Amino acid sequence: MIKETWALFIREVKKTFRNKAVVAMMVVQPIMWLVFFGSSFSHVPSSFLSSFFNTTNYIAFLLPGELAASMIFVGMFSSMSMIQDKRFGFLKRILVTKAPKESIFFGKVFGASTRGLLSIPIMMLVSLAFGVVFHWNILSLVVWILGLLLLGVGMASIYSIITMRSNDWQTPGVVSNLINLPLMFSSTALFPSTIFPGWMRDISSVNPLSFAAGLGRSFVLNTPPNFLFLLYLVIFCFLFLGIGAFLSREWLKAE
Amino acid sequence: MEYSIIADKLTKKFGDFTADNAISLKVKKGEIFGILGPNGAGKTTLISMLTTLIKPTSGHAYVLGHDVIKDALEVRKSIGVITEKVTMYPPLTAEENLMFFGRLYGISRKELEEKINEGLEEFQLSKFRKRPVGTFSLGMKRRLDLVRVLLNEPKVFFLDEPTVGLDPITVSFIKKKIRDINKRGSTIILTTHIMQDADELSHRVALIDHGNLMACDTPKNLKKKLGKNATLENVFIHYAGEELRDETEKMSIAPRRGM
Ligand SMILES: Nc1ncnc2c1ncn2[C@@H]1O[C@H](COP(=O)(O)OP(=O)(O)OP(=O)(O)O)[C@@H](O)[C@H]1O
Ligand SMILES: [Mg+2]
């Protein structure tokens, strides 16, 4: 199973990186987010910023949140790629080889997550360019990246589970509106939960995005990382990865 | 065991619509077995069930003694499938595509490289090994598809309309290859709308119409029943009638999913 997963994963990555439009989008999109959204607070008095965001540079607050949010879009790539494979008949070809269905699921999930990881260095570079200062605590950095990876794999699993039985181009779009937007706005990715109403704060406190963003803020603000956050993401990731692997045996259809 | 395939009352329903209705047939080891029938007769559906792509609604089928439902993985290990649509990953080169599928078949790297060289040579594609498959003509893709399937040395080979859309030179090349592959010991199940091809290639043919098995015999015997000088085309029309197959009516009952 590992061999097959690897072959499928490599093919997924090659496919992504040979598509110039996709690569361009991967590079440009995070930049847009940081540049436009991040700059929208430029003229807010710094005392206001630091009272809400614990930093005078909104981009410094936004970076971890934005990276966490970009991991949920990873899920969308994964399900889009699944639909594509079905519509073009690729999945049929794979399903008549001895590759177990779990491998196909894993290949998609890891392939999409790898694609998501690329936004980490890009966004960090953009942040540096916008004057964010990092303290380069290696432990925090590693924990953060790990957290993002776990979040990406978990989200990609959720999406792949949803699209296993579908062959409709619309599904990923519909699902992403239903999942991504609420998930993004009910997390601490873009704003601190202190300004949320109570019900949203409740959602935020179990939202995996908040945990990944939290790990990032430890790195950016140079505070010790909260390993419980990481644990939460480990559970989140393996739970959905496990469910997906299990369901793929029955649900994964050729078209 | 002398049969490669045994189908026992194999049935597939899509909603209320019966695509294959209790089809029972046996394909002998080493046979080239043709499946004929009008558009929408249920040929592709039958092949999909035998190759584990879709689950039968009822009935059983065995490929080399393995149950297609319970031992799907065992079945997949020994079969090769070429479907109507040629599908390789367009951005990857011929070589990369073959590598990818070879790995899925579990072939070791070194062995794979040898097999790819041989296969590309045999199908006269060596020159194009580094070219993305997206740039290939249909004939080249179809040949590459055969190289791909042969990597796994399938004992049972399913070919769903392998010559559709190809020029006469490629068709005759592929027909020759089908015979070669068969001589090397593989059983071949093939569907086609070209009666002459079916006649030339098949040891036996099955005629399916509206999901029902109408006849199953050697082309020679089937023709003999209709009298001297009868062609396989006459046989086909004898069993299927001359009525055109309009799918719209059926589609309102069971809309076809997919493209
Ligand atoms: N997934 C599906 N959902 C609903 N109906 C389907 C599905 N797949 C096939 N059918 C229907 O089942 C019937 C048999 O289809 P099938 O593809 O097996 O025919 P075929 O004999 O291969 O035809 P052709 O010669 O045109 O390839 C058709 O009427 C088709 O519309
Ligand atoms: Mg067909």
Q: What is the pLDDT of residues A153-192, one digit of tens each?
A: 999 999 999 899 888 888 888 888 888 888 888 888 888 8
The predicted pLDDT at position B1 comes to 60
Q: A3-14 pLDDT, tens per residue? A: 899 999 999 898
∠ CA B33-A254-B128, rounded to 5°? 75
- φ and ψ of A179, to 5 deg: -100, -50
Contact assignment for A11 to B89 by CB distance below 8 Å: yes
The predicted pLDDT at position B252 comes to 41
The predicted pLDDT at position A140 comes to 93
The predicted pLDDT at position B256 comes to 45
Structure tokens, B129: 């090994």
Please check the confidence at residue B229 and state whether its pLDDT lies above 90: no
Q: A186-242 pLDDT, tens per residue? A: 888 888 888 888 888 888 888 999 999 999 999 998 889 999 999 999 999 999 999
From the CA of B19, the nearest ligand is 1
CB atoms inside a 10 Å sphere around CB B253: 10
- Residue B202, CA distances (Å) to A19, A132, A188, B187 in order: 43, 73, 67, 11
Q: How far is the CA of B19 from the centre of ligand 1 (A)?
A: 6
The predicted pLDDT at position B247 comes to 55
- Distance between alpha carbon B217 and the CA centroid of its chain, in Å? 18
Please check the confidence at residue B258 and state whether its pLDDT lies above 50: no
Please check the confidence at residue B166 and state whether its pLDDT lies above 60: yes
Pocket around ligand 1: residues whose beta carbon is below 6 Å from it?
A: B 14, 19, 37, 39-45, 247, 250, 254, 256-257
The predicted pLDDT at position A31 comes to 83
Contact assignment for A15 to B54 by CB distance below 8 Å: no
Please check the confidence at residue A243 and state whether its pLDDT lies above 50: yes
Residue nearest to atom 27 of ligand 1 (CA): B39
Give me the percent of chain B exceeding a pLDDT of 90: 75
Please check the confidence at residue B251 and state whether its pLDDT lies above 70: no
Please check the confidence at residue A147 and state whether its pLDDT lies above 80: yes
Q: How far is the CA of B160 from the centre of ligand 1 (A)?
A: 13
More confident of the two residues B86 and B23: B23
Give me the percent of chain B exceeding a pLDDT of 70: 93
Give the SS3 label for residue B55: coil
Q: A43-69 pLDDT, tens per residue? A: 777 777 777 777 777 888 888 998 998
Q: How far is the CA of B44 from the centre of ligand 2 (A)?
A: 4
Chain A: closest CA distance from residue B258 (Å):
7
What's the average model confidence in pLDDT over A124-130?
Answer: 87
Chain B: closest CA distance from residue A1 (Å):
9
C-alpha distance across the termini of chain B, in Å: 39
Interface of B with A (CB under 8 A): 48, 51-54, 73, 76-77, 79, 81, 83, 85, 87, 89, 91-92, 96, 100-101, 103-106, 152, 257-259
Chain B: closest CA distance from residue A204 (Å):
39
Please check the confidence at residue B253 and state whether its pLDDT lies above 60: no
More confident of the two residues B193 and A49: B193
Q: What is the mean pLDDT of chain B?
A: 90
The set of residues, in sequence order, having a beta carbon less than 8 Å from that of B91 and lying 6+ positions away, is: A14, A15, A18, A19, B132, B134
Q: Which domains does chain B have, with CATH numbers?
A: 3-78+155-258 (3.40.50.300), 89-153 (no CATH)
The predicted pLDDT at position B160 comes to 94
Q: B56-81 pLDDT, tens per residue? A: 999 999 999 999 999 999 999 999 99
Q: B11-22 pLDDT, tens per residue? A: 999 999 999 999
Interface contact A88, partner B, CB < 8 A: yes
Please check the confidence at residue A38 and state whether its pLDDT lies above 90: no
More confident of the two residues B5 and A254: B5
What's the average model confidence in pLDDT over B128-141?
Answer: 93
Please check the confidence at residue B36 and state whether its pLDDT lies above 70: yes
The predicted pLDDT at position B250 comes to 45
The predicted pLDDT at position B178 comes to 95
The predicted pLDDT at position B246 comes to 62
* Count of positions (residues) in chain B: 259
Q: Which residue, B150, B141, B88, B92, is CA-closest to B119?
A: B150
The predicted pLDDT at position B221 comes to 92
More confident of the two residues A179 and A74: A179
- φ and ψ of B192, to 5 deg: -160, 155
Q: How far is the CA of B211 from the centre of ligand 1 (A)?
A: 9
Q: B91-109 pLDDT, tens per residue? A: 899 999 999 999 998 899 9
